[in-house]
Amino acid sequence: MKLPAMGEGIIEAAITKWLVTSGQFVKADQPIVEVATDKVDSEIPSPVDGRIVKLVYHEGEIPKVGEVIALIETDQPVTGQRPVKEMVVSVTDPGKPFHQGSPEREKRRIRTSELQNGNQFISPLVRLLARQRGLSADELNNIQATGLNGRITKLDINNYILSGRPGSLSPDPASGNAGSIRINSQSDPDPVADPGDEVIEMGRLRKLIADNMMRSMRVAAHVTSFLEADITHLVAWREMHKDEFLNREEARLTFTPIVIKAVCRALKDFPRINVSISGDSLIIRRNINIGFATALPDGNLIVPVIRNADHESLGSLARKISDMAGRARDNALLPAEIKGGTFTITNIGQYNNLTGTPIINQPESAILAVGTIIKKPWAVKAAGNWGIAVRDITMLSLTYDHRVIDGALGGSFLNRVAWYLENFES
C-alpha cells in the first residue's frame, strides 16, 4: 500500500495515526491510517481485504507520495488505490512520542528538514505551513513548541496564528518607513465570558477557515465592485425548462451552473482575472477551475472545485454541482476536489441577501458573489421609448486583489458577466 497522490503540489505527508496494528485483518475501504499535509488531514482506506503484515512508517514520520507505507497480505487482485477521504476531525496528539524508524530513514528525515538556530527541527509539513502563513524565522523561534523534543507542530502554528501572532514583526505605519519594524503588542485582551454565556471550543475546520480568511485579508488588497443585472429573460427560461432539464439531465437546474458558464466565458475574455501572484511574478492560469462555496450542516464552509469548467456543458455542470455539494455535506469529498481553484463563486442570495463583500480565496485573485433575485421596477426601452416595468434583478459583487487587478479591469469583467447573464443564449 503506497501513499497516494493527494493534490497538486503535495509531495509528502506526515503519518499522524495508525488505525490498525500489525497482524490485524482489515476489509477493503476500511480506513487504516490518518495522514496530514499542509492543507488537509486525510484518512487512507485499505485497497483490499487482507491482513496487515507490516507498518513500514511509524507515527510522526513523513513518507513521500508513491512510497510504500504498509504491507498487506491478500489473495485478492489489487486494482488500484482507494480514494483518499478528507478528515474533519482533530489530528492525533502532536506531543505523542513515536517510535524511531530505521537508521536510513532517520538520516533522510534530518536531510529533508531544515535546522533553525542550529538545533531546532522544522518538519517539511510545518515548513510549508510557515511559508504559506508568511511566518519569519524569528516568529518560528518564538512559537511555543509542544511536540516531541521541543519540536514545532502543525497545531502550534495554528494556535500561534489564532492568538494574533504576538511575536510578529510588522511595518510601523506611523514612521512612514517600510523598512522600520515594531513588535505587535497584545493591548486588546481576549474577551471574558460573563455568567450564563456559553463557551464553545472552535473546531479544527473553523480554525482553518479563520486562518485562511485572515491570511487573505492580510496579503491581498481587497476592493469590491457592484453591479445590478436584469435577468428577467433568464428567470423565465429557467422556469419554463427546469422540469424538462431535470428529467433529461437527472439534476436540478439551479442558477449556479448558469452563472459558472457566464463566468467561464468572461474569464476567456479577460484572462488577467484568472491569475495568481507568486513573489514578484504574475501567473496567468491556462485552466479555468471554478470553486463554488458550499455551506456545511455544522455551519462551516467548504469550496469544491470543478476543474476545466469551461469545457463542461450546462447539464454536466449541474450534475457535478449536485454531486459535489452532496458529498461535501456528507464529508466525502476527496482532498484533490477542494484544491486547484482559479476563481470562486459564492451564492449569498439563497437566504435573501441582496449583496455582500466576499473575501478572496487564496491564491486566487477574485471572487464573485451572487445576491438574491428580486422583482423591482426597472427602466426599460421598448419601440424606442423608455418606460417602467417589473423586472427580475440580481446584484453581483466582485471582490478582487487591487495589487494585480485595477478598477477598470475588474469593472469590465463584472460588466461582461452581467451581459452574458442578461443575454443568456437559451
Cβ atoms of 372 and 394 closer than 8 Å: yes
Catalytic residue among 58, 222, 233, 402: 402
Nine-digit cell string for 294: 458550499
Position 36, amino acid: A
- Interval 96-135: pLDDT, tens: 333 334 444 443 333 333 334 344 556 656 766 676 677 7
Q: Which residues contact 240 (CB under 8 A, 6 or more apart)?
A: none
Tell me the three cell numbers of residue 292: 463554488
pLDDT of residue 99: 37
The reported pTM is 0.60
Gap between the Cα atoms of 188 and 103, Å rounded: 49
The model's pLDDT over 83-105, given as tens digits with 9 standing for 90+, comes to: 565 543 333 333 333 333 444 44
Q: Pick the catalytic residue: 138, 323, 330, 406? A: 406
Q: Does residue 310 carry a pLDDT above 80?
A: yes
pLDDT above 70: residue 140: yes
Please name the residues in contact with 62: beta carbons below 8 A apart, sequence gap of 6 or more: 12, 13, 14, 15, 109, 112, 123, 124, 125
Residue 253 class from Cβ within 10 Å (0-12 exposed, 13-18 middle, 19+ buried)?
buried
Is residue 280 annotated as part of the catalytic site, yes or no?
no
> Is there a contact between 368 and 256 (Cβ–Cβ < 8 Å)?
no
Instruction: Give yes or no for residue 187 having a pLDDT over 50.
Output: no
User: Domains (ranges, CATH) in the chain?
Assistant: 14-87 (2.40.50.100), 222-422 (3.30.559.10)
Residue-wise pLDDT for 31-88, tens only, equals 999 887 755 678 899 989 999 999 999 887 888 888 999 999 998 877 655 556 554 3
Q: Is 311 a catalytic residue?
A: no
